Structure 1
Amino acid sequence: MQQDPNSRPASGYPYPNPPQQSNTNGYPPNANPYHNHNTSYAPHHNPRAILIRRLFIASMVFLLVLGIIFFLFFILVRPQLPYAYINSLSLSNFNVSKNHLTGNWDLQLRFQNPNTKMSLYYNTVFCTLYYNRVSLSETRLQPFDQGTKDETPINAALSVSGTYVETRLADSIGKERAAKGSVEFDLRMVSSVTFRYGVYRRRRYVTVYCYDVAVGVPANSSSGKVVGSAKRCKSF
């Protein structure tokens, strides 16, 4: 029996799978020649690195919260530097002769705490008297406390007895007395001040400058007083 060359396969019999064609690299199509089935090379997370990263994030969050707390605290409390005034000043036994200076300065100072919520504690106050930026005399004032909105008067005495001064300084004092009938001095006070609010404590150095304090002392007199009323100094 001869087989019909145009006959089709019987139904129910699938076509045989066509042979796979290789590409130029020798791999079958849709195959990934670089696929690695070895799971030992899968990436692993380092627990130490994760811990360090979490600690860093926690530290940043803590610092941010702390900064916000301090910002709100200073906004609400508003710590202010103390005010200082020269209420009165008298000069006695003042004399400049042959480059030697003598004099006694008696001052009444007034410190004011402008804070409504913070009390202040002043450690030893160092007080220095200047003329043309040259130190003439210095003294120390006793420590003291101040409540909120308190004012505290403090007496201070500075003296010079036959201290040598340069010729230019002695000449400047003589010319100023002759021209204006007064001499301008500068006063500086430095203290370590503690700001207190509940359990909060903050200590900082406060410097007070009293510039151009004019003392009326004519050329033919050895005594005088401050010119004008109470003088407010500048705090830094």
Structure 2
Amino acid sequence: FRLFFLSKKEGDIQLLAGKGLPGGRRSRKMAGYGMPAAGYPPQCSHPSAACSPPPYYPPYPPPQPDQTYYYGAAAGGNRHRTFFQCLILCATTIFVVLSIISFIFWIVFRPQLPDFSVTDVTVSGFNFSGNELSANWDVNVTAFNGNKKLRVNYDFNKAAIYYEGEVLAVTSLPPFYQDTQTTTTIPVHLATASTFLSDFTSNQLKSSRSNGEASFDIQLRFGLQFKSRKWTTRWRTLRILCENVEIDWTTSGSNPAVGRLKSAGRCLA
């Protein structure tokens, strides 16, 4: 093999022949090779020492942004997002659970709204003074509970009578209880005491009264609660409208001031 060394004194590259060279000749100076450039290749203090490249120092990294601010803001946003997600999840869960319970309740008990009808009406003291009306109304309303397993509680009850959309009288009704598959008669007394009506409504009602017939609307409002042995529903508002309740004054015989029920329209919930 051949070894190349850098001569420190002369600066020439010499070829030194080791064992195995033919004739044991020594290498001569290589013409055309001068001193190496300053600083390259690196100079070694000893021929046997391993020459290592100069140390490399990487540039300083750029400054990093304030991690506390960004992480804090991100953590705050995550907390708010997590809170709203939990709130929506809880609301959805409650809604689904209540829906399932209501569905099971409906499947088991089959709740039905009671049926209402107007069975009797008597109008007395019907009198006009200008546009002011005075009258007394005695109405009987029947309610039928067709449920086989559910009883009904009625509370916060009210009744009103209308003519052409204007209120003639309003009254409150006492609470009552209705058992399964029973019919209950609800007596309703209303008083119209010097109630002022518009010119149009007043003239229309006077004309109908003089012809012997007039149609009124009766509205009922109940607070309704279904009950069984193990279940009790929350209170609900039930509104009943009985339209076109016809009153006839011509069938009263000797007392034409008293009007009576001629026909009752359908009562709708």
TM-score of the pair, normalised by structure 2: 0.59
Counterpart Cα distance in 2 of 1:133 and 1:75: 39
- Is 1:96 matched with 2:131? no
How far residue 134 of structure 1 moved from its aligned partner, in angstroms, is: 0.4
Residue 137 to residue 63, structure 1, CA distance change in 2 (3 Å): closer
What residue ranges of structure 1 are gaps of 5+ in the alignment?
1-51
Q: Any stretches of 5+ residues in structure 2 without a counterpart?
A: 1-82
Of the three residues 149, 154, 172, the one matched with 1:140 is: 172
C-alpha separation in 1, matches of 2:199 and 2:100: 58
Which of 131, 136, 153 lines up with 1:121 in the alignment? 153
Q: State the match for 1:70 in structure 2.
A: 102
How many Å apart are 1:80 and its aligned residue? Answer: 1.3
2:258 maps to: 223
Bigger-Rg structure (1/2) = 2
Q: Secondary structure at the match of 1:116?
A: coil
- Give the aligned partner of residue 188 of structure 1: 219
- Taking structure 1 as reference, are residues 158 and 68 closer, same or farther at Cα in structure 2, changes over 3 Å only? closer
> How many residue pairs get matched?
181
CA apart distance, 1:221: 3.0
What amino acid is the match of 2:152?
Answer: L
Picking from 83, 86, 98, the partner of 2:118 is 86
Determine the C-alpha separation between the residues in 2 that align with 1:177 and 1:201.
45
Task: Point out which structure has higher relative CO (alpha carbons under 8 A, 6+ apart).
Answer: 1
Identical residues among aligned pairs (%): 29
Taking the aligned partners of 1:139 and 1:232, their CA distance within structure 2 comes to 21
Contact kept, 8 Å, 2:154 with 2:176, in 1: the verdict is yes
Displacement after TM superposition at 1:73 (Å): 2.5
Aligned residues: CA RMSD: 2.9
Displacement of 1:97 in angstroms is 3.2
1:233 and 2:233 are equivalent in the alignment: no
Q: TM-score if structure 1 supplies the norm length?
A: 0.67
Structure 1 equivalent of residue 20 of structure 2: none
SS of aligned partner of 1:81: coil
Structure-to-structure mapping, 1:1-236, within 5 angstroms: 67-179=99-211, 181-197=212-228, 198-218=230-250, 221-228=256-263, 232-235=266-269
